[in-house]
Amino acid sequence: MSEQKTNGYSSLQIALHWTVAALIFFQLLFGESMTTIVDAGEEGTTASPSDLTLSVAHYWVGIAILCLVAIRLILRIVQGAPESASDTTWMTYAAKASHWLFYILLVAVPATGLLAIYVSDEFGDLHKLAKPAFIALIALHAVAALFHQFVLKDGTLKRMLLPAK
């Protein structure tokens, strides 16, 4: 798949990035409610109303993430993505690899969650592995963005805050 190259991201790409980031943060904070509901069902107990509410929210937020990521991928193909600001090959490769790993997780995690609900509980074990993977990738992403901003001072972070002109 070839991508167009641009000077920066569009307003829509930036809005989708931060919206998906906020939704992922919600999922990481409150996703355990789904496990609580499943465990309560298996044990024949009743979960709390807040766990029920959060589990429903987890389900729908996951579907929203899947839909928004589909739009992000289409926009990335149509509108492109800016070239790496780094002039080192390994940083450029690391940035591309981490971005595509994000996309893989952003599709695979909601998909395995849905498969766990509708096909087999075994997909739930795979789905749960995503939490530490997301946390590690988000931490790496944030550190890299801050490194680019404050050490390299190459404008990388600014591209995800201000739309291209």
Task: Kindly report the pTM of this predicted structure.
Answer: 0.89
Share above pLDDT 90 across residues of the chain, in percent, rounded to a whole number: 71
Q: What confidence score (pLDDT) does residue 2 get?
A: 44
Q: Which of 7, 152, 158 is nearest to 82 (CA)?
A: 7
pLDDT tens digits, one per residue of 23-64 = 999 999 999 999 999 899 889 999 999 999 999 999 999 999
> Terminus-to-terminus CA distance in the chain, angstroms?
25
Rounded to an integer, the average pLDDT of 134-156 is 92
pLDDT at 165 > cutoff 80? no
How far, CA to CA in Å, does 109 sit from each of 9, 37, 65, 96? 25, 18, 10, 20
Alpha-carbon Rg for the chain in angstroms: 18
